[in-house]
Amino acid sequence: MNPNKPPADIQGSGSPTPGHESAELPVCGVVLVDKTAGMSSHDAVDLVRRLTGLRKVGHGGTLDPFATGLLLILVGKATRFFDLLAPLKKTYRVTVKFGARSTTGDVDGEISPVAGTVTRAGLEAALPRFTGLIQQKVPAFSAVKRGGVPLYKLARRGRQVDRPVREVEVCSLDLAGFDAGAQQAVLDVRCSKGTYIRTLCEDIGAALGTGAYAARLRRTAVGELKVENAATPEQLTGQPRPQLLTAANPSFLSCWSALYFLPVRELSPTEIRAVSFGQPIAGSEEGPVRLGSAGRLLAVYGPGERQGFIRPLVMVA
C-alpha cells in the first residue's frame, strides 16, 4: 500500500464535519505540511487548528523556524499517536557553510568568520566518521531544559551551562554538492529522532579545522512520508474547509495510512465488540499492531501482561 494514498473509505464521504467529532467515525488523521522558513512548528499547528476548526491538533516532531519541509500535523485522535510517529527516521538536505560560526548553529544566529579552508577530498574523507551511532552535544539554543528552564532562554540571558550529550544515529550521510569557492556543501542526511543537524554541521567543520553552520535546511521525508505530497500553508489556506480532512485533500492521511509501518490485523465481529470496549483480545503480536475492519482503524494494540493476549495502546473508535 502506498502510504501517501490513504484509502478513501477511511475518511471519505462519511467523515464528520471538521470541528464535530463523531462516535462512529472520529476525526483522526495527519496533514502533511510543507513548512516555510520563519514559521514555527507551533505556527503550523495553529494554522491547521484555525482552518479545520478542531481544538485537538498537534505535531509529530518539530522543525526549527529557519528550516523548511515536511511537518506532520496530527488532528483529532491522531494526537494520541505521537509516540508511534515521532521515532520515524528523518531525511534532510542541508547546505553547510564552512569558514564561519553561528551563535545558534544556523543562519539565524550571529555569524563570525573562522580561519580554515575545506576541500572536497577532505570533506569526503571526514563524512564516514559521522555515520552510525555518534555522540552529540545538545545545542545551547534548543528546547532541552536545565532546571526546568529551556536552554535557549538561558543562552539568551548569557548564561553558560553544561549541555547534555546524547547518542543519536546517522543512518546515511551523502555529499550531494560542493562549491570550493563559496565554501559550501550540500549534504543529504537520514537520521534518528533527536539528531541536531545544526550540531552535525558544526562538528563536521570542527573535524576539518574550521567553523561551520547550517545555512539552509529542508526536511524531505519522515519515514516513507515525502514532502512532495505535502501542502504549503498557502495551499492549505486555499482549500475549502469541508475537504481538508478528507481524501479530496492530497496532503491528508487517515490514521490507517499514516501508521503504514505497523502490521495489520483484521478483526472478527466478536473481536470488534471486545475492542470497542477496550478489552484485551487473544494475540501473539510482539509489538504494536493496527486493528481494523474494512480498512477502518479501530485501535492500536500491543503485548499485554497476560501471555497470549494483546491489550489496547491507543483507542480510536
Residues acting as catalytic residues? 64
DSSP the chain: --TTS--HHHHSTTPPPTT---SSS--EEEEEEEEPTT--HHHHHHHHHHHH--S-EEESS---TT-EEEEEEEEEGGGGGHHHHTTS-EEEEEEEEESEEESSSBTTS-EEE------HHHHHHHGGGGSEEEEEEPPSSSS-EETTEEHHHHHHTT---PPPEEEEEEEEEEEEEEETTTTEEEEEEEE-TT--HHHHHHHHHHHTTS-EEEEEEEEEEETTEEGGG-B-HHHHHTS-HHHHTSTTSTTEEEHHHHTTTS-EEEPPHHHHHHHHTT--EE---SS-EEEEETTEEEEEEEE-SSTTEEEEEEE--
CA distance 252 to 63: 19
Pick left, alpha or beta for residue 19 (phi over 0 → left; psi -120 to 50 → alpha; otherwise beta): left
Nearest by Cα to 30 from 87, 82, 73: 73
Could you identify the residue written with the cell 563536521? 204
CA–CA separation, 211 and 109 (whole Å): 14
What gap in Å lies between CA 94 and CA 203, rounded to an integer? 14
